[in-house]
Amino acid sequence: MSNPIIYQVGGILLFLFFCVLTFFFTKTWRATHVIFAFLTFAACMVFLAMAAMSAKTNLTWRERAKLGDEAFEKELKRNHELTVGSFDAEGVRPDTAPSLRGALAREMLDRGRVWRGCSIQTAADQQLNITLNTLGAGEDPATATPNQIEQDMVLYGFQENTDGNIRLFLGEFRATAVTDQTVTLAPTDARLLSAVQVAAVRAGGGWTLHEVLSADSHLAFSVDPRRVHRLTNTEGEKLFGDMDEEALRQIISQAYAAVGFPQDTIHPMQQKRIRDMLRDGTQAIINDPNNQDPVELIYTKVEFIKEYKELDVDTNEPQDALTSDYFDSLGRAVVDRLQRGDENPLSFAVGDVGVFHKEKADELINAGICNAIEPIFVRQTHDLNYELRALLLDAIRLLADIEDLKRVTKEIGRSNAQLTIRKAVREREQGELQADLLQFTNERDLATATANKLTVHRDKLLAQLSALYRSNAILAQQLAVRQKAIADDIKRREAAATAANN
């Protein structure tokens, strides 16, 4: 019935039927009846044409509306794929506009601006001041975009390989002179550069300049770092995908070799980093006391058995200008570009699978909200900017300690010189004292010998005096006897004389 010829033939037959009827009715109708009948028929034809055009227009627009609805449904589905995305049969979700915008924002936030392929315009001088040309290879200076480097901007320099990849970290530099196509750099503190870095700066070659040091990531060494897959409740699932072990070992070996370690020798720290990166996002070791993972690196994969709507992943606390952390101590996003921007907390439905730190997972499990599936080992990421700043501060402290040690050593040397002089004086005094002691000893021995002789002589004199004393005592007794005898004789003679005179 959609063939237009049928309707055209029907219209012609109706017109002929109307004409025949009008011819027969003219015998009894008046002229006005015939005229109005003809006008009525003409009006019907006009309205019939308008109805036909309206029906055709309606049909056309219905078809267009159907096509538009189908296209709209396709666009809605495409918009859903681009904005939200859906997991395929393998549990992999393709890139979406928000994920790409987030990845770009995160990349710009983590990496900052980068100037690759910089060539040396003026070689480094004694103070390691060097001028670089920021134009890329084959770039026209007349049409090149200005480098937009500002005066006194702090930049991080890297030495490039012949293939343009980064080989060695050269240190932290400050832009002392800037043009649209060149920049003159000076080390922020040349004392903090190692001998390897100084030799690399003087050697020349290509440079790469970074505005900030790139942040570490769990997906940095993944085979597919942008792959987003749905977590399942099965054990043994790799949280961050498969790691490219060969590329990982090659990159880390080259990094260690660039600073002087032999490539055929595996440093223990190098082996530990490789092992942690390969195990990142896999099942944690909790039952081996000799090789147990630290508690702070253990997460738990859980399955929700109740709906949970109380997880807030953004912080409303004001940002501290003195810190550069992207997340607070509870893991909530601090930087605006990393926040969800939704006032409603993050919610989980029954059957959803998530990974939480062990403390939070234990809290949810004890509350009966979810069940534990398996423990997950998540390696500690490194904030290279913070660690470099800490190393620089440690180096500055070590340099200050070295200066203190040099000053103390100089003072000790001066004190040792004074002690040497004093020691010589004391040694000379000691020699003089030893000579005096020897002379004193000789004199003492001589005095002792003389004293001994005098003692012997005294003893002899005492013996002689004792003999004289005894002999004197005997003589005194004899003298007393003689005196008494003489006195008695005198008295007798006096008595005899007196008697004779009488």
Q: How far apart are CA 243 and CA 232, in angstroms?
A: 19
Closest Cα to residue 273, out of 357, 197, 216? Answer: 216
Q: How far apart are CA 86 and CA 49, in angstroms?
A: 51
pLDDT at 17 (0 to 100): 76
For residues 105-119, give the mean pLDDT: 78
| pLDDT band of 321, cuts 50, 70, 90 | very low
**Model confidence over 55-105: pLDDT tens digits?**
888 888 888 889 989 999 888 888 877 776 665 555 555 667 767 777 777
DSSP alpha helix (H) spans, 204-267:
245-258
pLDDT at residue 169 above 80? yes
Q: What is the model's pTM? A: 0.58
Question: Is 8 in the same domain as 66?
Answer: yes
In a domain, 260, yes or no: no
Closest Cα to residue 354, out of 233, 242, 218, 227? Answer: 233
- Three-state DSSP state, 447: helix
Lowest mean pLDDT among 189-198, 277-286, 380-389: 380-389
Residues of the chain above pLDDT 90, percent: 8
pLDDT at 200 (0 to 100): 86
pLDDT at 412 (0 to 100): 92
pLDDT at 366 (0 to 100): 92
In a domain, 398, yes or no: no
CB atoms within 10 A of CB 267: 13
For residues 252-256, give the mean pLDDT: 75
**Model confidence over 478-500: pLDDT tens digits?**
888 888 888 888 888 888 888 87
Range of 7-21, 60-74, 101-115, 272-286 with top mean pLDDT: 60-74
- Cα 191 to chain centroid, rounded: 22
φ, ψ (nearest 5 deg) of residue 285: -100, 115
pLDDT at 87 (0 to 100): 59
Range of 234-238, 344-348, 455-459 with top mean pLDDT: 455-459
For residues 324-350, give the mean pLDDT: 70
pLDDT at 406 (0 to 100): 92
In a domain, 93, yes or no: no
pLDDT at residue 350 above 80? yes
For residues 171-183, give the mean pLDDT: 90
The residues pairing with 58 across neighbouring beta strands, listed in sequence order, are none
CA dihedral 107, 111, 112, 115 (to 10 degrees): -120
Q: How far apart are CA 342 and CA 145, in angstroms?
A: 38
Structure tokens at 314: 């953004």
Is residue 222 within 8 A of residue 243, CB to CB? The reply is yes
pLDDT at residue 293 above 50? yes
For residues 177-199, give the mean pLDDT: 86
In a domain, 225, yes or no: no
Domain that holds residue 181: 113-210
Lowest mean pLDDT among 121-130, 244-253, 445-454, 487-496: 244-253
**Model confidence over 203-225: pLDDT tens digits?**
878 888 988 887 777 877 777 76
Contacts of 134 by beta carbon, 8 Å cutoff, 6+ apart: 115, 118, 147, 149, 181, 182, 183, 209
Higher pLDDT, 63 or 391: 63
Instruction: Name the domain boundary from 155, 178, 210.
Output: 210
Instruction: Name the domain boundary from 181, 210, 239.
Output: 210
> Sign of dihedral through CA atoms 186, 191, 194, 198?
positive
pLDDT at 344 (0 to 100): 63
Question: Is 73 in the same domain as 140?
Answer: no
Question: Is 69 in the same domain as 148?
Answer: no
In a domain, 323, yes or no: no
pLDDT at 174 (0 to 100): 92
pLDDT at residue 40 above 80? no
φ, ψ (nearest 5 deg) of residue 320: -90, 125
In a domain, 201, yes or no: yes
Which CATH number fits the domain that encloses residue 153?
Answer: 2.40.30
**Model confidence over 411-435: pLDDT tens digits?**
999 988 998 998 889 888 988 999 8
Higher pLDDT, 280 or 95: 280
Is residue 172 within 8 A of residue 209, CB to CB? The reply is no
Instruction: Name the domain boundary from 210, 234, 251.
Output: 210
pLDDT at residue 330 above 70? no
Question: Is 440 in the same domain as 487?
Answer: yes
φ, ψ (nearest 5 deg) of residue 88: -85, -170
Q: How many domains does the chain have?
A: 3
In a domain, 50, yes or no: yes
For residues 331-352, give the mean pLDDT: 74
**Mean pLDDT taken over the chain:** 81
pLDDT at residue 157 above 50? yes
In a domain, 184, yes or no: yes
